[in-house]
């Protein structure tokens, strides 16, 4: 893996310990082929929604964890990764595209390991990802590390308000205001070590409210699963 710095960061590197949530990195990414044209495969800047990655949770693309743990807030860098590090990118990209479209991130995937799915050569539903799956090649990632809300200055928080407000209005129109409120409540109960409350409310999210969203083809609530798992632990 080769790295090239585009813009130096000014903040701290990703924290490696968090007693409740685990270390988390928030970043924008652009994925390019290593061809002469530098063909863009995916671009989170275009989607206007950054990637949120919890470190150490067996993400299918470990090279991203390696990358972001070397970066600081505000840093922009480009990484050229060998085939062996990005062989599962087509599967990851499909899941991320599903999430961006409001679909189940695992839609169309069988319950087997990523390598087995790769060898089956089933269509991923995207011609560019099918081509990359059948002919793996090195990839280039442009990464911009962002600040989590707790690390933002007052000015940065003020700039973020309109974006968050717009997202909140969209979720409200879709009738999805209950789940975020319950998840925030569960986070507080986790901090207070009141685990039975967390188990009860996370289960209600997954069984009742999110059941309605799955019926509409939307993604499952990963945060509810994660918080319930923390409570069980």
Q: What is the pLDDT of residue 13?
A: 56
Mean pLDDT over 33-38 rounds to 86
Q: What is the CATH number of domain 2-145?
A: 3.10.50.40
Distances (CA, A) of 96 to 101, 106, 157, 191, 218: 9, 10, 26, 30, 13
Residue 157, pLDDT above cutoff 90: no
- Work out the percent of the chain whose per-residue pLDDT is above 90: 22
pLDDT of residue 210: 46
SS3 83: helix
What are the distances in angstroms from CA 200 to CA 96, 180, 183, 188, 213?
29, 15, 11, 14, 19
Q: Which parts of 125-200 are beta strand (E)?
A: 139-145
220 or 82: which carries more pLDDT confidence? 82
Please give the average per-residue pLDDT across 69-77, as a whole number: 85
> What are the CA-CA distances from residue 35 to residues 16, 59, 140 (Å)?
35, 26, 10
User: Regarding predicted confidence, which is higher, 13 or 95?
Assistant: 95
> Does 5 or 228 have the greater pLDDT score?
228
| 180: exposed, middle or buried (Cβ count in 10 Å: 0-12, 13-18, 19+) | middle
Alpha-carbon dihedral of residues 15, 164, 157, 186, nearest 10 degrees?
Answer: -50
Mean model confidence pLDDT for the chain: 76
Q: How confident is the model at residue 19 (pLDDT cuts 50, 70, 90)?
A: very low
Question: Cβ atoms within 10 A of the Cβ of 22, count?
Answer: 15
pTM, whole model, 2 decimals? 0.57
Q: How far apart are CA 51 and CA 46, in angstroms?
A: 12
Q: What does the domain layout of the chain look like in residue ranges?
A: 2-145, 152-232
**Cα–Cα distance, 73 to 89 (Å, whole number):** 24
């Amino acid at each position: 893996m080769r790295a090239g710095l585009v813009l130096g960061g000014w903040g701290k590197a990703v924290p490696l310990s968090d007693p409740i949530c685990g270390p988390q990195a928030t970043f924008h990414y652009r994925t390019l082929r290593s061809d002469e044209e530098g063909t863009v495969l995916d671009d989170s800047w275009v989607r206007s929604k950054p990637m949120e990655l919890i470190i150490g949770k067996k993400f299918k693309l470990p090279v991203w964890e390696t990358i972001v743990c070397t970066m600081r807030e505000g840093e922009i860098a480009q990484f050229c990764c060998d085939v062996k590090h990005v062989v599962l990118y087509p599967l990851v990209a499909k899941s991320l595209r599903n999430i961006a479209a409001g679909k189940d991130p695992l839609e169309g995937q069988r319950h087997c390991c990523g390598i087995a799915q790769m060898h089956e050569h089933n269509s991923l539903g995207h011609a560019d990802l099918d081509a990359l799956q059948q002919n793996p090649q090195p990839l280039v990632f442009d990464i911009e590390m962002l600040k989590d809300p707790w690390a933002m200055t007052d000015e940065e928080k003020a700039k973020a308000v309109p974006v968050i407000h717009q997202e909140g209005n969209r979720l409200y129109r879709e009738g999805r205001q209950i789940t975020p409120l319950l998840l925030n409540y569960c986070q507080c109960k986790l901090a207070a070590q009141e685990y039975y409350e967390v188990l009860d409310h996370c289960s209600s999210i997954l069984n009742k409210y999110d059941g309605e969203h799955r019926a509409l083809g939307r993604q499952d609530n990963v945060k509810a699963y994660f918080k319930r798992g923390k409570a069980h632990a």
